[in-house]
């Protein structure tokens, strides 16, 4: 009975990791575009 439990636990962990990676990627993209926006704004002000 332990084998199905381990498979479910492993599947749950993999799903969480993929969700976390998607969130991290979104944060990286948003943060990167935000930083680029600041650089472009300061460049245009000069």
Does residue 1 surpass a pLDDT of 60?
no
- The DSSP symbol for 46 reads -
- Please tell me the predicted confidence (pLDDT) of residue 16: 92
* More confident site: 46 or 1: 46
pLDDT digits (tens, 9 = 90+) for 4-39: 888 888 999 999 998 999 999 988 888 888 877 878
Q: d(Cα 46, Cα 42) in Å, to the nearest integer?
A: 7
pTM of the model: 0.49
Please say whether the dihedral angle defined by the alpha carbons of residues 32, 33, 34 and 35, taken in this order, is positive or negative. positive
User: How far is 41 from 20, CA to CA, in rounded Å?
Assistant: 31
Range of the domain at 8: 1-46
pLDDT at 21: 92
Exposed, middle or buried: residue 11 (CB in 10 Å: 0-12, 13-18, 19+)?
exposed
Q: How many domains does the chain have?
A: 1
Q: What is the pLDDT of residue 36?
A: 78
């Amino acid at each position: 009975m332990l084998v199905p439990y381990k498979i479910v636990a492993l599947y749950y962990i993999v799903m969480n990791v993929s969700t976390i990676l998607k969130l991290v990627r979104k944060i990286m993209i948003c943060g990167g575009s935000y930083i680029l926006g600041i650089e472009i704004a300061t460049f245009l002000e000069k």
